[in-house]
Amino acid sequence: MNESRANDLNGAPALSVRGATKRFGAVLALDSLDLDVRHGEVVAILGDNGAGKSTLIKCISGVHRFDVGEILIDGQPATINSPAAARGYGIETVYQDLALFDNLGPSANFFAGREDAGPRWLPRPVRVLRRRSMLDSTVDVLERLQVSLPDRSAAVGLMSGGQRQVIAVARAAAFASKVVILDEPTAALGLRESRRVLDLILRLRAEGHAVIVISHALDHVTEVADRAVVMRRGRKVGEEIPSPDSQQRIVALIVGTSAGAAASPP
Amino acid sequence: MTNLASVVPTDASIATPPEPRDLSDERQQRRFRLLRLALGVIRLGPILMLAGLVVAMALLSPVFLTTGNANNVLAQTAAIAVLAIGQLMVILTRGIDLSVGSTLALASVVGAIVYSHGGSGFVVIVVMLATGAAVGLVNGGVYVWGRLPHPFIITLATLSIARGLALQLSGGQPKRGVPSIVKTIGNSSFHWVPYSAILVAGIGLLFAGMLARMVWGRWMYATGGNPEAARRTGIPVRSVLISVYVLCGLLAGVAAIITSGRLNAGSPTAGNLAELDSIAAVIIGGASFLGGRGNVANALVGALMIGVIRNGMNLLNVGAFLQPIVIGVVIVLAVESDVLRGRLEERFRVMQAALS
């Protein structure tokens, strides 16, 4: 599936960022940055606090706009000026706070703001919810992603941190046709729960999604990412194929040149 | 830096890890089931409390379970129940409306004045509803467009303003006379069931359906559950909030119709402290004060419970001063059970993480 999809699109990356620059007052948050993410590829974005990772994904997901630079989706220029526009291009983002509704069940969470309801001739707010069909498609997505939940109708607030994270990721996956962005998906999770989220990321990749992961957990990155892009002071300072061997070099890139020289002399 | 997890090859990580569920011991499972049962009981709390109350009253007073007394309780509770439905929607979205009692009085007085100038029954009812909705629009509008951090203050202000207006317009005296349709709604019964109670049941069904089955109702729950996430998912949070106060005001207008009919007058002092009764009913009905949780049926049960306590204590000849004390205790019980629910759910979460 992954292969065929890439061929259909003549190998154009699912998402390309070209010459992205973003300034907040005197702070240069992004400095002519380029990034490509292909279908069926997991790219990790690494960097210390303040490196510009969050600004980058906020621009891609429509919260901010680049001052200079452009975004291409499947090789076509895209105008992303709001979160809704980003969603329209098939980009879904899972923020660190997950943005879940603890008082609602998984299905209501999946469809929040895009409820399936009818009849069509009524104005949207007074349409009747198609609860059955929403539950069915939620169960379908969860099964496709091999996510098991103890109770599919229980409020999300009753679930563990890992289950909540999985639901947030699955929600993004369900509606993203092209790109899924994950901000620190394993930050608050235990070992076993991280495991489930990482497995889920691999399944997204297998389904042909382009996945961007921001993470500080290097071993998690090593496990799931095809490429690791390291940012420092708004610029891309390096790229590595993550493996246990390259971890030292990645750390050096994150921390800075002098440490890099010390760790891996030329 | 390198740990075990990172050495595991990618292929192996796709395979599902062994299910620890089978290994978890019997006792853990049993405690988990017990916890789920306790949560279920708390969820049914309001209904159970009302049932217990009714049984106790029936045993203590031979008059309590007569149709005549049931008529009494229902008629007395109708206005509070309608206000409670409105208050529920406000509390669902993390708000509070302190103005409903005063709004009731203002709508009641305005209705009586329109009637005294020759307004028909239909016109009077429309005017009462419009008055309520208008106060609600002020509440919601100032809260949302005025960017207030919380609706407490604006509804406190309209509590004062609406009451003052009602007193001003009526000269401080009840204005006698309401249209016969209003009198029928507030003061007559179908067999032993007051028309007001039938009206409340209809409105309850309508709003229960809206909250549970309609997109707008779902948006109210979403807005109360996580306003920031609601905004991000494209739910029109500001419109939802304003609508909630308008509907609450509209229902205060309905309560004004019931109360005016019962009194056969537009009274500027009607609905005094009714805002507190309506809040109490919603909380006794198990809604969370933090928003996002509660339903119409339970709010009505809460209102009925307040009615039954008042009525029962009258029947038992318990002093009138004791009634607010008992109602206060019930509120504390309701809130504590909500706290307990929170604690149990926290434990539920931890256990579930351990078991899954």
Q: Is the pLDDT reported for residue B24 higher than 60? A: no
Nearest residue in chain B measured CA to CA from A105: B222
pLDDT of residue A71: 93
Instruction: Tell me the C-alpha distance between B222 and B234, whole Å.
Output: 11
Q: Is the pLDDT reported for residue A263 higher than 60? A: no
B5 → closest Cβ in A148, A223, A248? A223
B353 with A190: Cβ contact below 8 A: yes
* DSSP-based three-state secondary structure for A237: strand
Q: Is the pLDDT reported for residue B313 higher than 70? A: yes
Q: Is the pLDDT reported for residue B193 higher than 60? A: yes
pLDDT of residue B319: 81
Residues with Cβ within 8 Å of A258's Cβ and at least 6 positions away in sequence, in order, are none
* DSSP-based three-state secondary structure for A151: coil
Q: Which of A228-232, A238-242, A246-250, B232-236 has the highest mean pLDDT?
A: A228-232
Q: Give A-chain residues touching B16 at CB under 8 angstroms.
A: 146, 199
pLDDT bucket at B11, cuts 50 / 70 / 90: very low
Q: Which residue has the higher pLDDT, B33 or B20?
A: B33
pLDDT tens for each residue of B197-211: 999 999 999 999 999
pLDDT of residue B355: 67
Q: Is the pLDDT reported for residue A8 higher than 60? A: no
pLDDT tens for each residue of B88-143: 999 999 999 999 999 999 999 999 999 999 989 999 999 999 999 999 999 999 99
Angle at A184 between CA A101 and CA A198, to 5 degrees: 95
User: Rounded to 10 degrees, what is the CA torsion of A165, A168, A174, A176?
Assistant: -110
- Rounded to the nearest 10 degrees, what angle do helices B100-116 and B121-145 cross at? 150
Q: Is the pLDDT reported for residue B1 higher than 60? A: no
Instruction: Tell me the C-alpha distance between B183 and B200, whole Å.
Output: 16
Q: Is the pLDDT reported for residue B15 higher than 90? A: no
Rounded to two decimals, the ipTM of the complex is: 0.82
Interface probe for A, chosen from B6, B21, B213 (most Cβ of A below 10 Å), is: B6
pTM: 0.85
Q: Is the pLDDT reported for residue B21 higher than 60? A: no
Q: Give B-chain residues touching A223 at CB under 8 angstroms.
A: 5-6, 8, 10, 13
The mean predicted confidence, pLDDT, of chain B is 89
Instruction: Tell me the C-alpha distance between B340 and B356, whole Å.
Output: 24
Nearest residue in chain A measured CA to CA from B93: A103
Interface probe for A, chosen from B14, B232, B240 (most Cβ of A below 10 Å), is: B232
Instruction: Tell me the C-alpha distance between B134 and B312, whole Å.
Output: 37
B229 with A101: Cβ contact below 8 A: yes
Residues with Cβ within 8 Å of B46's Cβ and at least 6 positions away in sequence, in order, are B284, B285, B286, B298, B301, B302, B305, B334
For A16, A18, A80, B46, B70, the CA distances from A69, given in Å and listed in that order, are 10, 5, 12, 59, 73
* DSSP-based three-state secondary structure for A68: strand
pLDDT of residue B304: 95
- Averaged over A116-124, what is the pLDDT? 91
pLDDT tens for each residue of A131-167: 999 999 999 888 887 787 777 788 898 888 888 888 8
Q: Is the pLDDT reported for residue B19 higher than 50? A: no
pLDDT of residue A62: 87
Q: Give B-chain residues touching A224 at CB under 8 angstroms.
A: 10, 13
Q: Give B-chain residues touching A131 at CB under 8 angstroms.
A: 213
For A95, A139, A155, the CA distances from A151, given in Å and listed in that order, are 24, 11, 9
Instruction: Tell me the C-alpha distance between A128 and A121, whole Å.
Output: 11
Q: Which residue has the higher pLDDT, A257 or B112?
A: B112
**Dihedral sign of CA atoms B23, B344, B88, B160 in order:** negative
pLDDT bucket at A238, cuts 50 / 70 / 90: confident
Q: Are B268 and B163 in contact (CB under 8 A)?
A: yes
Rg of chain A over Cα atoms, rounded to whole angstroms, equals: 19
- In percent, how much of chain B has pLDDT > 70? 92
- Rounded to the nearest 10 degrees, what angle do helices A161-175 and A191-206 cross at? 10
- Averaged over A32-42, what is the pLDDT? 93
- Rounded to the nearest 10 degrees, what angle do helices B180-187 and B195-213 cross at? 80
pLDDT bucket at A257, cuts 50 / 70 / 90: low
pLDDT of residue A262: 43
pLDDT bucket at B7, cuts 50 / 70 / 90: very low
Q: Is the pLDDT reported for residue B29 higher than 50? A: yes
* DSSP-based three-state secondary structure for A210: strand
pLDDT tens for each residue of B137-168: 999 999 999 999 999 999 999 999 999 999 99
Q: Which of A9-23, A205-219, B332-346 has the highest mean pLDDT?
A: A205-219
Which string of DSSP letters, residue by residue, matches B249-316?
HHHHHHHHHHHHHHHTEE-TTTTTTHHHHHHHHHHHTT--TTSS---HHHHHHHHHHHHHHHHHHHHT
A199 with B13: Cβ contact below 8 A: yes
- In percent, how much of chain A has pLDDT > 70? 92
pLDDT of residue B220: 97
Alpha helix ranges (H) inside A29-160 = 53-60, 83-88, 106-110, 131-144
pLDDT tens for each residue of B277-295: 999 999 999 898 889 999 9
Instruction: Tell me the C-alpha distance between A256 and A130, whole Å.
Output: 54
Instruction: Tell me the C-alpha distance between B20 and B41, whole Å.
Output: 29
- Averaged over A37-55, what is the pLDDT? 90
pLDDT of residue A50: 83
Instruction: Tell me the C-alpha distance between A179 and A86, whole Å.
Output: 10
* Tokens describing residue B43: 């969820």
Instruction: Tell me the C-alpha distance between A254 and A106, whole Å.
Output: 37
Q: Which residue has the higher pLDDT, A79 or B10?
A: A79
Q: Are A217 and A33 in contact (CB under 8 A)?
A: no
pLDDT of residue B17: 46
**Dihedral sign of CA atoms B107, B112, B117, B118 in order:** positive
At B187, the amino acid letter reads N
Q: Is the pLDDT reported for residue B329 higher than 80? A: yes
pLDDT tens for each residue of A101-118: 999 999 999 999 889 998
Instruction: Tell me the C-alpha distance between B282 and B299, whole Å.
Output: 5
Q: Is the pLDDT reported for residue B246 higher than 60? A: yes
- Averaged over A177-185, what is the pLDDT? 90
* Tokens describing residue B331: 């509120």
Q: Which residue has the higher pLDDT, B27 or B72?
A: B72
pLDDT of residue B9: 39
